[in-house]
Chains A and B, each alone.
Chain A
Amino acid sequence: MNSLRYEIPASIEALAQCLERADTSTHLLGGGTDLLPRFHGRAGGGVTLIDMTSIKGLDTIETSGGSVTIGANVTYTRIGQDPFIRKCLPCLSTMASQIGSVQIRNTACLPGNLANASPGGDAIGTLMALDAAAMILDAKGSTRAVCVADLVLGTGKTSLARSEAIIGIWIPVPESSRNGFGKIGLAARREVVIANVSLTMVFDFQEAEERIRNARIVLGAAAPKAFRATAAEALCLGRKPSALLAGELTDCLRLTVQDSIHGNPMFLHKLNDVQGLAWDVFHAIFSDLY
């Protein structure tokens, strides 16, 4: 009757061939931590799974010329432990070491978070704040780069075609950056948290000037899609990091979330959370200066 087709391409070329045959019942399988629970309890027939995990060359983290490229099969555990990322992109390493549980981080990878486009997808906000791009392979075997901000469109919606696969993430590494990430889960949760609110702050900060030149601040789980908090970004321009600025930022972000949740009473608790989170993230980034 309904059979499950399982394809295991070993190369990018083989993946492209699989993509050529893709239709609405085709799913790409990476770590599987989102996809498999979705199938759980359902009759799994009539589905084609393309298992990405055996594709050679997609399991590396490469740094060159002011950027880092993370292959589609690199797990969150590896991202979180990578010394270069920990040094230059602490927002990314923090996000990667807080997503899901240890077991999830040991198998899950970045592309799934983008492709699922959940409002609470932690990686989406962080990658948007870093102005990252997804490397997308199509069925013809050619690759293009799409800004994460343009890739994720809304809850469960992306600009990916059925015959396309994310094979890596390209992240520019800012020269003089200070950045950080934080999230707060529902009620009691401190770990294995699905974000109630997440926050990534990336500052262009000249140590000599002690001034913030530019800021990219992204809120996650506060709207169907992660978004840049532009008022908060503007607030930081030219400012010296201080407790005062932190306070202004918290109130500003509260107002931003107040707008983004459109008064939905189920989300009102996000307001206090974003304030606390703003303190925490800003403090973790700049506490040595004030």
Chain B
Amino acid sequence: MPNPGLKIIGKSVPIHDVRQKVTGSLRYVGDLKLHGLLHAKLLLSDIAHGRIRKIDSSEAEALPGVVAVFTHLNSPKAAYNSHKWLEGMEVIKDENLFTDHVRFHGDRIAAVVAETKEIAEQAVRLIRVDYEELPAIIDPETALRPDSFPIHAAGNRIYHKRIACGDAAARMQEAHLVIEDRIETPKVHHAAMETHGCIAAIDAMGALTIYTPCQVIFQVQLIVSEALGLPLDKVRVIKTTIGGSFGGKGQPILEPVAAFLSHALRRPIKLVLNRTETILSTRARTRTIGRVKTGVDRDGHIIAREIDMLVDTGAYCTNGEAVPMAMGKKTFRLYRIKDQTYTADVVYTNTPIGGACRGYGSPQICAVTEINMDHTARSLGLDPVEFRLRNLVHPYDADPAGGPDIGNARIIDCVRKGRELFGWEEKRKSAHKNGRFVRGVGMACCTHGNGYYGAFPDFITIDIRLDNNGTVILKGAFHDLGCGTVTTMMQIAAEVLEVEISKIHVPEADTDICSFDSAGTQASRVTFVCGGAVKKAAELLKVKLVENAAMLLGCEPREIAMEQGCVFRRSCPESRRSYQSVVGFTQEQLKSDLSVNHVFQSPGNPASYGAHFAEVEVDTITGRVKVLDYVAVHDIGQAINTGFVEGQIQGSVQMGLGMALSEEITFDPKGRVTSAQLSRYTVFNAPEMPPVRVALIEEGEASGPFGAKSIGEIATVPVAPAVINAINDALGTNISVLPALPERIVAAIKAKGGSQSVGLFPVSADTALQGLR
């Protein structure tokens, strides 16, 4: 342990609003009511691709209680890109409030505003839309073809990206073995418990206030301002309590719409989506098709690797440029590969819009490369763990592609710890491969970042002040996504300032209250960057506190000791004075304030690491998979709150298992989504969850607050490949399309020429007996 003297860091403290959440007294945006509130309902396209010839909203407008109907005909045309979070970012602007050219099933065509939600719902069904249908492109490989129908005027291929080090093509020639794979990852819905929603309210001065469960208040402000042509100061954004996001609420989707409606009608507007609308029309994890080619020498060292990704960003660009870059950078920071080439093409399709989704491309690239790693290990006849240990990065290795320093990279410790805790050797030996139910083990390694350093401006301004009650008022644009950000910040400030955690007051993000923050809750930056900022600001406040206390107590600052909200001279414990009295002294005698405003710039972007291990049982008749055991080990540097860290990991495994085995947004041949409700889109529920055993490697990261690194995204990253590798181990298959649905598994068994009775082959007595174990 790098920090033996810590009092509250590393402890499991309950989340600050646990009582209110459990008792249901907390209000989410859907619960909020404002005087004169109107309700909006969106009309979403029910076809995947077409131009709107005509919209007839007369019947809807005539319905009593309907206030107005808006379409592309009577709304601003300014195009924007909801991914943009900083003024200076260059982006492709291809989104509108309402479209005249629908590009996916769920595209926004119109909004009805009415006195009640029910009337708005009734009215929206009365709008008639006449389309000229266009060919729907669902498959990204089809979209890439030069003759495919252009979804946007500039064509379907948006970006081509390349990152490289050394000369992979040349070194590949020298390889003892080259293993190639083509691996597909699905379009996935975030499935946060709270669906999307927001309220926009306008005041007498024409200024808007937007209440929204968002991840980046300043991004909401920026996009609303761009879409409506309003100055930033006319848009106030207040982050409300959030019922989960996982990246899904990272981009402003409904906020510009509600803001426009409120601005146009001079009334407060509530717009809340249901589950189907959320699945269809918000954001999804980008689908990818990855091709990977790994060259190894006889000893199992990777000598060259080539990766080519096809990224399906859906109907609008949003973060289509950022996701492939985020994916690519990770591939240079996990294994020691001197010669590697990464390329990516990004295409439009007529499918739901891609966006941020826990891991931001890392789960996809990790699935592609880690399934290939096991394939390579099998081909070499090497234990997959051993193969990885020969190639993994070591602490303080350089990033060969020129990325920020990886820091105290402890992935090897993770793998060794996980191997032992999981019982890898024994499970691998004993996993039975005969009969109807076969077992296998798999693992995967992963890396993720800690903020934007090296890519985008990464800073946050913190205001911290000691008030007359001795309470620390800590202000920054903190967006607690339900994972404990507020409590984490409280713990950091409490540790530095030697006070009880209850003496730290942290309001959540509000553009009128908080100083500027460059990036919000993105890129796994919150604990590392915002937590680092809180630590630094608290330390600066502590310096002032100590200086003023020394004046009060008539001694040198170095003689001042602090304990439980009190200061005293080290040599004289009876001199104890509360923080309040130092504040009073400062105000009355020094005519000053005990406060600090600090702009904190991220000091770096070290890599976080993790290794996951899974044991599965596969029913070779039905293709159904049961995950029997699961171990997750993470190089976290230092846990600020061990309970939160474990919670993040448990939840991440639940999401990753869905990506591995059951979650996929599916389409009919015309591009209509066939899985737009949770009865068809199956996430892992509690009964299906395996026990998840968690272990942490806490060796400290010098640049992180108290040594801490990120966990929220990375824990989802290796889940799917660990599970797929376990299935492939159980079956001797090479499953490469995610999710490994039962029918895909049965098809893989058949393709392998399995001995099981599948299909129309008569069952022999032998296999019948096998079926019964």
Contacts and interface: CB of A to CB of B under 8 A. Distances in A.
A251 B760 contact: yes
Interface core residue of B662, B674, B760, B771 (most chain A CB under 10 Å) = B771
Interface stretch (A47-55, A61-69, A185-193, A203-211): A185-193
B622 A272 contact: yes
A192 B685 contact: yes
Interface string A215-240: 00000000000000000000000000
B682 A250 contact: no
Contact of A43 (B118, B764, B771): B118
A36 interface: no
Interface stretch (B199-207, B385-393, B739-747): B739-747
A184 interface: yes
B230 interface: no
B430 interface: no
B769 A243 contact: yes
B507 to A, nearest CB: 34
A9 B250 CA distance: 53
Contacts of A287: 772
Contacts of B397: none
Contact of A187 (B682, B746, B771): B682
Interface string B297-332: 000000000000000000000000000000000000
Given A189-B682, A251-B757, A243 B622 contact: no
Interface string B679-695: 11011110110000000
Interface residues on A, range: 20 to 34
Nearest to A255: B760
Given A187-B682, A191-B685, A272 B623 contact: yes
Nearest to B747: A272
Nearest to A268: B743
Given A250-B757, A276-B621, A244 B765 contact: yes
Contact of A276 (B624, B741, B761): B624
B763 interface: yes
A246 B688 contact: no
A43 B742 CA distance: 40
A279 B769 CA distance: 11
A275 interface: yes
Given A269-B742, A269-B743, A275 B687 contact: no
B768 A187 contact: no
A184 B679 contact: no
Contacts of A279: 436, 621, 771-772
B621 A275 contact: yes
B767 A247 contact: yes
Contacts of B657: 188
A187 B769 CA distance: 26
Contact of B687 (A192, A244, A251, A269): A192
A58 B547 CA distance: 80
Contact of A188 (B274, B688, B761, B763): B688
A220 to B, nearest CB: 16
Contacts of A255: 760
A20 interface: no
A247 B768 contact: yes
B771 A246 contact: yes
Interface string A249-276: 0110011000000000010110111011
B661 interface: yes
A11 B764 CA distance: 59
A283 interface: yes
B772 A283 contact: yes
B619 interface: yes
B758 interface: yes
Contacts of A272: 621-623, 742-743, 746, 758
B661 A187 contact: yes
A248 interface: yes
B762 interface: yes
Nearest to A274: B622
A194 interface: yes
B763 A248 contact: yes
Contacts of A248: 762-763
B658 interface: yes
Given A186-B682, A243-B768, A250-B763, A276 B658 contact: no
Interface core residue of B743, B764, B768, B769 (most chain A CB under 10 Å) = B768
Interface in A160-205: 184, 186-192, 194
Contacts of A269: 741-743
Contacts of B679: 186, 194
Interface core residue of A41, A192, A194, A276 (most chain B CB under 10 Å) = A276
A287 B771 CA distance: 12
Given A247-B771, A248-B763, A273 B685 contact: no
A4 to B, nearest CB: 14
Interface in B732-764: 739, 741-743, 746, 757-764
Contacts of A271: 759
Nearest to B741: A187
Contacts of B742: 187, 269, 272-273
Contacts of A250: 621, 757, 763, 771
Nearest to B118: A43
Contact of B757 (A41, A189, A194, A247): A247
A266 to B, nearest CB: 7
Contacts of B688: 188-191
B622 A188 contact: no
A243 B682 contact: no
B772 to A, nearest CB: 5
A156 to B, nearest CB: 16
Contacts of B623: 272
A162 B338 CA distance: 76
Contacts of B743: 268-269, 272
Contacts of A43: 118
A43 B117 CA distance: 10
B763 A247 contact: yes
A246 B771 CA distance: 10
B772 A243 contact: yes
Interface core residue of A247, A271, A283 (most chain B CB under 10 Å) = A247
B674 to A, nearest CB: 7
Interface string B604-628: 0000000000000001011110100
Interface core residue of A272, A273, A276 (most chain B CB under 10 Å) = A272
B570 to A, nearest CB: 60
A163 B174 CA distance: 83
Contact of B680 (A186, A192, A251, A283): A186
A272 B744 CA distance: 11
A43 B658 CA distance: 35
A189 B682 CA distance: 7
B768 A246 contact: yes
Interface in A2-24: none
A246 B621 contact: no
Contacts of A283: 772
A273 B682 contact: no
Contact of A191 (B619, B624, B687, B769): B687
A247 B762 CA distance: 8
A188 B661 contact: yes
Interface of B: 118, 121, 274, 436, 619, 621-624, 626, 657-658, 661-662, 674, 679-680, 682-685, 687-688, 739, 741-743, 746, 757-765, 767-769, 771-772
What 3 A-B pairs are tightest by C-beta distance, nearest first? A247-B763, A247-B768, A276-B622
27 contacts: A42-B118, A186-B680, A187-B742, A190-B688, A191-B688, A243-B765, A244-B768, A246-B771, A246-B772, A247-B767, A247-B771, A250-B771, A251-B763, A254-B760, A255-B760, A268-B743, A269-B741, A271-B759, A272-B623, A273-B622, A275-B621, A276-B436, A276-B622, A276-B624, A277-B622, A279-B621, A279-B772
Given A43-B118, A275-B758, A283-B772, 15 more contacts: A187-B741, A187-B742, A188-B683, A188-B685, A189-B685, A190-B626, A246-B771, A247-B771, A251-B757, A255-B760, A266-B674, A269-B741, A272-B621, A272-B758, A275-B622
